[in-house]
Amino acid sequence: MTDQMIAPAAPGSLDSGDVAGYLKTKFPDAVKDDTRQGYSGVVIDRNRLVEVAESIKNELGYNYLSSATAVDYLGIEDSMEMVYHAYRTSGGGPLVFKAQTPRENAEIPSLIDVWPGADFQEREAYDLYGIHFPGHPNQKRILMWEGFEGHPMRKDWKEAYYEQELKPFDSRWPKGYARRAEELNMFGKNVKYPSDLNLSRLTDHSESSLYSGMGLGVDVEPVPDSEGLQTDKLVVNLGPHHPSTHGVFRMVVTLNGETIDQLEPVMGYLHRNHEKIGERNAWNHNMPFTDRLDYISSMSNNLGYAQAVEKLMALGARYTPPTYRAEVIRVLMVELTRIVNHLWAIGFLLNDLGAFFTPSLYGIAEREKVLDFFEAVSGSRMMCNYMRFGGVFKDLPERIRSTANLVNDQVRDFDTMKYLTELINDSLPRAIDEYDRFLTDSEIIKARTQGVGYLPAEMAIAYSAAGPLLRGSGVAYDVRRAEPYSIYPELDFDVAVRYNGDIYDRYLIRLDEMRESVRILKQILPRLEATKGESIFSGNKAIYMPRVPIGESYGRVENPKGELGYYTVSQGDPKGPQNPWRYHVRAPSFINLTALGPMCKGQKVADVVAILGSIDIVLGETDR
């Protein structure tokens, strides 16, 4: 192609195939194709990353940075790389670009000026991989504490209870004798210390480092306000065990009077090493772990992971996509989960506003009915572990015994389809209407939420906000429509969108989405009837342990809390035992929190918990 041909007036209209060509022509010595087997996208020279990224965003229109994560290729290429997935908010596929760095003195320029949403993700890469990001204004650890020894996600870093690279461990299988890990540890605990540890010079930096760069003005720097009063800045810690933080989340807030000057989220209190454990696990071992990410909507997490691995498997020769009935059941589960999650989220938002537990109890009562269905189908109320690569674990049972529908203490036995029909046509819509009737016009709720926690559309996109947070700000972006998966293309539903970008609109959009979900579920019911008796698994004799070819994939779904993405890399021996080389979760709760600081600035301290509640975070996913 010549320059004239690939320099159209609106490069934003190029599809993803041409985009790589455009970049290669514009930056011939900085951009080249990623030619590794099973990989896609372009590799960018790290010295010119910022320049190319600006072109990607401004000229090509990839204004939404979905995921940025690091991979350590120790022993394969002896380098580390950052992988970025950028999208257009008008829809379509990703532009995948990568920047590589040697493992020693790893350094990649920060993209925070191009996409502010890279903030936390770069801090995470610094924390877990030790990659430095020149240009990042606040580069410190985010999940571990300051002062922790080493960068644990590096392939050569071993944890205290390290046994072996791959599961299943020899000590458990096939001979089957287990040994407790603490028996071999001198301290009887999950700890290891550097051998040059000097206890007499031990200092705990974990707290003091939080306050560095916060401009602590306590008794030092009086700030005159408009009335001429001299007031001190005050630092308030909310959390990590504060009941309104929805888990173990902490906010360090600098106050000027009652107004928030600065808010810094502190997380990692539930960092349970999902990704490191995930890299030791075999592919299907990770499915139950995904349940525990966003533990209110485990079914949706399952779907995202199943799709990511199915994309990888599709690179190989022997792969059959999930059957139609499997997809129908998957959508049924996911949309029920969405309703459950939003009922819960609205209930707890109202908790934060002061309506202590009364609205929540309405939501929880409805949730129990859905959980009874999940329990009958998958065997567990919350941690369903239901989806498999190529289908689902089991077909729906014939009958359901539901204790949530007790009449005179009698457990009732239902026909499954009848139970579902009643739930979808009657019970759930009634619960949604009930919320609507009791809450939407409440004067107190309006006074507390309208105009509070404002997030404009440009900022929501820039901060990579996702889900109701993004759509509440007027950006009609929903992965189900933007990059459709499963059977969503044939279903009739609207992407809910609201334009005011405040807490009230985020509340309303959850009601809208629940109504849309009910609309989808009503279309699912006849499909369930029609496919009765068909296969729910496309694989061979329900062999769940797949052979995954070498390559990378990024599977993403619209979770109730936003876009949930799984970035997986397979480098395994196609014949031997296999596990993910890299297993990264792009958690919506984590990245949505990037916008929390800017949203709270200038608000009253009493509104912080409400703003946090309107984002609807869950800590299992935030900290992973």
Identified binder of another protein from the candidate list 429, 555, 565, 620, rule CB under 8 A: 620
Size of the site for another protein (CB under 8 A): 73
Give the x/- contact pattern for another protein in 250-269, rule: CB under 8 A: ------------------xx
In the numeric block, the tokens 């009930």 are attached to 434
In the numeric block, the tokens 């559309």 are attached to 457
When the beta carbons of 267 and 528 are compared against another protein, the nearer one is 267
When the beta carbons of 250 and 471 are compared against another protein, the nearer one is 250
H-assigned helices in 1-143: 16-26, 49-58, 118-129
Sites for another protein among residues 357-386 (CB under 8 A) = 360-361, 364-365, 367-368, 381-383
Residue 248 interacts with another protein (CB under 8 A)? Answer: yes
Sole window of 69-77, 101-109, 143-151, 554-562 interacting with another protein (rule: CB under 8 A)? 143-151
In the numeric block, the tokens 């532009």 are attached to 95
- Alpha-carbon gap, residue 371 to 212, rounded angstroms: 45
Q: Least distance (Å) from another protein to the CB of residue 431?
A: 14
Strands (E) located in 416-454: none
Identified binder of another protein from the candidate list 214, 216, 277, 459, rule CB under 8 A: 277
- Alpha-carbon gap, residue 588 to 465, rounded angstroms: 8
When the beta carbons of 247 and 551 are compared against another protein, the nearer one is 247
Q: Least distance (Å) from another protein to the CB of residue 526?
A: 31
Q: Could you tell me the two tokens for 428?
A: 């759930």
Sites for another protein among residues 544-603 (CB under 8 A) = none
Identified binder of another protein from the candidate list 48, 292, 394, 519, rule CB under 8 A: 292
- Alpha-carbon gap, residue 419 to 412, rounded angstroms: 11
Sites for another protein among residues 197-216 (CB under 8 A) = 197-199, 202-206
When the beta carbons of 293 and 328 are compared against another protein, the nearer one is 293
CB burial class (10 A; 0-12, 13-18, 19+) of residue 519? middle
Residue 270 interacts with another protein (CB under 8 A)? Answer: yes
Sole window of 69-77, 287-295, 480-488, 531-539 interacting with another protein (rule: CB under 8 A)? 287-295
Residue 148 interacts with another protein (CB under 8 A)? Answer: yes
Identified binder of another protein from the candidate list 94, 117, 217, 247, rule CB under 8 A: 247
- Alpha-carbon gap, residue 89 to 166, rounded angstroms: 39
Q: Least distance (Å) from another protein to the CB of residue 168?
A: 13
Sole window of 67-75, 145-153, 320-328, 470-478 interacting with another protein (rule: CB under 8 A)? 145-153
- Alpha-carbon gap, residue 322 to 324, rounded angstroms: 7
When the beta carbons of 19 and 296 are compared against another protein, the nearer one is 296
Q: Who's near 238: CB < 8 A, 6+ residues apart?
A: 244, 245, 250, 251, 253, 608, 609
Q: How many residues does the chain have?
A: 624
When the beta carbons of 283 and 289 are compared against another protein, the nearer one is 289
Residue 412 interacts with another protein (CB under 8 A)? Answer: no
Q: Least distance (Å) from another protein to the CB of residue 488?
A: 28
Sites for another protein among residues 494-523 (CB under 8 A) = none
Residue 33 interacts with another protein (CB under 8 A)? Answer: no
Q: Least distance (Å) from another protein to the CB of residue 266?
A: 9
Q: Give the DSSP per-residue string, 15-37.
A: -HHHHHHHHHHHSTTTEEE--ST
When the beta carbons of 141 and 498 are compared against another protein, the nearer one is 141
- Alpha-carbon gap, residue 361 to 344, rounded angstroms: 9
CB 582 within 8 A of CB 71: yes
- Alpha-carbon gap, residue 597 to 459, rounded angstroms: 12
Q: Least distance (Å) from another protein to the CB of residue 200?
A: 9
Closest by CA position to 244, among listed 621, 615, 511:
615
CB 97 within 8 A of CB 46: no
Residue 234 interacts with another protein (CB under 8 A)? Answer: no
Q: Least distance (Å) from another protein to the CB of residue 425?
A: 22
Q: Could you tell me the two tokens for 618?
A: 């869950």
When the beta carbons of 141 and 311 are compared against another protein, the nearer one is 141
When the beta carbons of 104 and 183 are compared against another protein, the nearer one is 183
Name all contacts of 359-366 with Cβ < 8 Å and 24+ positions apart: 359/435, 359/438, 359/439, 362/431, 362/434, 362/435, 362/438, 363/431, 363/435, 365/404, 366/340, 366/427, 366/428, 366/431
Identified binder of another protein from the candidate list 24, 32, 276, 604, rule CB under 8 A: 276
Identified binder of another protein from the candidate list 145, 211, 324, 544, rule CB under 8 A: 145
Give the x/- contact pattern for another protein in 153-192, rule: CB under 8 A: ------xxxxx-------------xxxxxxxxxxxxxxxx
CB 565 within 8 A of CB 583: no
Rg (CA), the chain: 25
- Alpha-carbon gap, residue 265 to 617, rounded angstroms: 12
When the beta carbons of 371 and 460 are compared against another protein, the nearer one is 371
Q: Least distance (Å) from another protein to the CB of residue 244?
A: 9
Q: Least distance (Å) from another protein to the CB of residue 419?
A: 17
Residue 408 interacts with another protein (CB under 8 A)? Answer: no
Q: Least distance (Å) from another protein to the CB of residue 267?
A: 9
- Alpha-carbon gap, residue 432 to 90, rounded angstroms: 30
